[in-house]
Structure 1
Amino acid sequence: MFVTEIVSYGIDQSLFEEKYGDRLLEIKKSLEGLTKENIGASKPRHGPQGEDGGVTIWKMKYLWEDLIQEEGWIESRSHIESGVGRRFYMRMLGFINGRVSCTIATHRDHLNRWLYTSTPIAYKNGLVDLPIMLMPVKQLYQDFFDNRGIGIREEFERIVSELQELSPLSHSHPFILLGISNQKSDIRWSELQAESKLHGEKVILRRSIEFPPEFRQAGLGILNYFGEVLREKYPEENAKIKIEQDGSIVRMIVEAEDGSRETIEKALEEYELVVTGKMPPETLFDSRAKILELKNELRIAESRIESQRDIIEYQRQDIADLKQLFSSSLTVKSTPTLNLTVAPNINVLSNQSSAISVVCGLGEALEDIQFLLEEASADSDVSLRLNDLYESVENLDKSANTEDVKSSSGLRKLKKFICDANETGTKTNQFLESIVGGMDTLKSLAKKYNSVAEWCGAPQVPRVFTE
């Protein structure tokens, strides 16, 4: 396959080619392996396998993912914590290399989530600078997927025309849509208009440190002073420093309009060398007053550490005295008997492995739901239900706590969907019976549901669903 159209927003052709030309070449190379024969012979990792030799969007997606990884791209598995305690998973970014992400569209809702949720959050938090989405053009659907509905065939052309109809757009971040075809031609380039120049502040640096108790106050002071270092050494950067604390974890977030990431990182590296004693404060500032001020900050930090150590040591002594009291009580015959209930030992590594396994199972369930969403594009009722199910199941990933998962709406909705889909005559059942691989996908979902349900103690669906 070949890139035949490029539609950009927030970045012009010359800047794109200058900054991201290498990434585009890697994407083009990955597409070379997407021939009709290779797609037909491939075996998807998830979702319906399709007929031998048959070509499906599902097969194309997984084959491309294997090919892009050969070019050095890494799958996006990160997550971002929101200020209100929600966790956003960045799977929809696809694969990342050099702060550029790339994914391949499988259905309309995939594009909507990518464009309006995943990429804005990723850009705002400094995870990527430029998200890219690959979209088959009408010609490719006609040549490769001749059994697909006309709405899907025209996806690239239709999406671009709709975005042009909505322009000028007010998105705060740049993005690229690449139209791919099985017929090679000169690349046509077009740009979507923006309401105004993209000047929105974005996170260009994020660092998280978990401090031991005795270092917490000193660490907060040291991180806070980095803002003064940045203002003194690089006043033109106009960056904002935010410090967030979550228990023992402290996050430093640097936001800037047009700040240079390299400059900010260089300043942080220099500051780190001074703080750790590998370089003297004189190397950081020219001003004698600033040098003395920094030395004073370091002395204050040391003082805080010593003070906290004394407090912690005092608390540990109290704990030691308490242990001694219990020990004496248990050894003196005249004291009343103490009835102690000992909780069973929990193997942390085993528990983490179970949690990771469950999260992986949920991620694979999302792949199955995503496939069904693609097939349901012409059925608004089923599509609406699948959209709601996808969002609810996606939110399950944010916790590995068994009780949270067991009582979640996502798990309940998944069970109800499976049961409804298995009941003859229901709208969901009719939909699954009407598509290739529909009932196989239902069985796959049922197996994954039962795996999660067994882990958290939720009711399972009958085994006949999975046979």
Structure 2
Amino acid sequence: MWNFDNKHGGTSRANLERAYRLAGLLVEALSMASSEITLNNIEQKILHDAIKSAENVQLYLEQASTGERSSEWFAAEAIALKGQLARLTTRMRIGPKEAKFLEKPNTKISTEDKSLTIIRQDLREMGVEDSEHSRYFIQIAQQVLEEIESITRYSEFSAVRSTIVRTIKPKSEHKQVVLSVLNYFGRIVEQKYKDKNIVVKTEQKDDEITFVIEMDAGDKGEINDALYQYGQVVLEEQDPSKLLPSMVQALELKHKLDMAKMELKHTTELLHTERYGYRNRIEFLEDEVSWLKKAIGDSLTLNNDLQAMLSKISTSKTSLSVQEALKFVIRRAFDGIEETDRNSIFEKLVDIQKSEPGVLEKLKNISETVFTHTTSSLLSNWITTVLKSLPE
């Protein structure tokens, strides 16, 4: 393991300055990883966000050392960065060889005058080929951040909390089912993140239900991922076993959703029979179940970035079919698209252009500043092809 001397404590100006110098290595390691390592689109986005957080940590540490800003500023960014790096290492799944090198107890790096050049030399002495160095930079960045935490103890004085908020407006007869499905995410949090400080709650006001998750800032990315996966399970686009590793827990979730659908059918059937008799009862029940499943699923899977992007592209006059097609394309783009996604996305782009010319041009312009380079390039090319084949 990369070790650092630990002869410090508190958050004095000297310690803040020392942490600032370490933050320089943090930024350098992540930037080098970004330029050298091959990642998928989702991992690229997480790493891009991590580099931005690391740059902010460095800036705010410098300002904290001069008294220009309070220490809470860099603490918030450091906590967010800690979560981003945890997500990266989980996704990258480093192999036993990398772990063996990183856990060497006699490997030391001086906290002064350090650079990636020195680290590269150490890696070579450990027998690591130059072409493999970038695989270690994320791990090294984590340990540099741990050193910053030990110097500043930012986790002790920072009470930075973050929230995820979703809203849904169900019909009055659907409220109890919606509440039941939303509240079950609290059970999933209890199963997957029992050691984390996470609060899940629902609030009702008039005909609107607000779903709120509170967590430490560094855990927001991981919880957002879990919430998205839960929405995919509700939409029946993902198996519960991918969200919950335990077979028993996955089966419990499946039974819960089956019971929710059954409750919805019973309530809807009684109301429909009372109002209209048995006419078109089966079709009505199927429509109601499909509508509610989609309403809940979308409320969970549409993150704030996606909702903001939709609001910039669509208007109150945009048809429901076009909005659904846009959601599909944007959600896939946020996850990261590849050439193999062409057919499914191209079909949606054609539908959008046929229904509402002008929308694709907005999507193309905005995508260049939001998505990763690979995703925005592919999406832009596909949109250009559609615009040429189906002019306004």
Query: What is the TM-score with the length of structure 1 in the denominator?
Result: 0.28
Structure whose residues are more often strand by fraction: 1
Structure whose residues are more often helix by fraction: 2
The structure, 1 or 2, with the larger RCO (C-alpha pairs under 8 Å, 6+ apart) is 2
Query: What is the TM-score with the length of structure 2 in the denominator?
Result: 0.33
Which has the larger Rg?
A: 1
